[in-house]
């Protein structure tokens, strides 16, 4: 099913990589940015690579106001401020997919470490900052932005955590629109605190092995998930 996906912070490496992949899959994309002109430029760049792509740029709040599905792809240091800024623009009943990882690097520390979040995880913090009725799923923490922006398959599992079954299903469907990705049901939103920590581990592995695209695969799982 085609839907309109607003990607807040969509001019960054992860956001533009997801926009590129979903545009190729036939989704309608609104790239959001604090700077509408920058968002429009990035949308035009992606459109030039995807024949028939439905992709446009907007200021963040304007993108959110036009979609029932919002993907947040900003650094942890900008998460709370961004959500507070776009909060009034959320449509009733919209879903938010939060990709935020509380890496210490975003507040001046090391990229191989995370910082503590009072709510337990960045995703749980996001859930406190969106309007009532907006469902939050956590996903896409462990994807290489370099692979996302490339042409090949992304051989990686994506763990999706959510309290709402509909938000979880939507996030898993979107994940599997990217060739090579398998979506894994990570359980309730509180489990996101574990999934987010994996990103710091992967960054450390990239550094030690001098590579740039380490991913995760889980073995022994029944697919499709019998709980869905």
Question: 43: domain CATH number?
Answer: 3.40.50.720
Could you tell me the CA-to-CA distances from 164 to 42, 44, 200 in Å, in that order? Answer: 32, 34, 26
- Average pLDDT of each block of 10 consecutive residues along the chain (228 residues)? 89 96 96 98 96 96 98 96 98 97 82 85 97 97 90 95 97 96 97 95 93 93 74
| 3-class DSSP assignment, residue 33 | strand
**What's the pLDDT at 195?**
96
Q: Is position 166 within any domain? A: yes
Angle at which helix 122-129 crosses helix 76-86, to 10 degrees, equals 20
The C-alpha atoms of residue 40 and residue 29 are separated, in whole angstroms, by 11
**What's the pLDDT at 129?**
97
**What's the pLDDT at 37?**
98
Q: Is position 70 within any domain? A: yes
Could you tell me the CA-to-CA distances from 197 to 120, 146, 159 in Å, in that order? Answer: 11, 20, 12
52: containing domain: 4-209
Split into its structural domains, the chain has a count of 1
Cβ neighbours of residue 44 closer than 8 Å, sequence gap 6 or more: 57
Cα 98 vs. chain centroid, distance in angstroms?
5
**What's the pLDDT at 177?**
96
For residues 94 and 134, the answer to whether their CB atoms sit within 8 Å is yes
Q: Is position 129 within any domain? A: yes
Q: Is position 106 within any domain? A: yes
**What's the pLDDT at 181?**
96
**What's the pLDDT at 167?**
97
């Amino acid at each position: 099913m085609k839907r309109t996906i607003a990607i807040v912070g969509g001019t960054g490496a992860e956001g533009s990589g997801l926009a590129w992949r979903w545009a190729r899959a036939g989704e309608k994309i609104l790239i959001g940015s604090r700077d509408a002109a920058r968002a429009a430029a990035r949308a035009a760049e992606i459109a030039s690579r995807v024949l028939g792509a439905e992709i446009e740029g907007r200021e963040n709040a304007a993108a959110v106001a036009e979609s029932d599905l919002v993907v947040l792809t900003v650094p942890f240091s900008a998460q709370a401020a961004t959500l507070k800024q776009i909060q009034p623009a959320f449509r009733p009943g919209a879903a938010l997919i939060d990709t935020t990882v509380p890496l210490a690097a975003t507040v001046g520390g090391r990229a191989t470490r995370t910082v503590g979040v009072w709510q337990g995880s960045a995703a749980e913090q996001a859930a406190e900052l969106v309007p009532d009725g907006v469902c939050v799923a956590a996903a896409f923490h462990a994807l290489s932005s370099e692979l996302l922006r490339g042409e090949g398959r992304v051989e990686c599992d994506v763990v999706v955590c959510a309290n709402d079954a509909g938000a979880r299903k939507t996030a898993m469907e979107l994940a599997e629109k990217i060739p090579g990705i398998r979506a894994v049901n990570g359980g309730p939103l509180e489990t996101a605190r574990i999934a987010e920590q994996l990103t710091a581990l992967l960054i450390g592995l990239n550094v030690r092995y001098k590579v740039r695209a380490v991913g995760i695969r889980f073995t022994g799982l029944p697919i499709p998930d019998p709980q869905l």
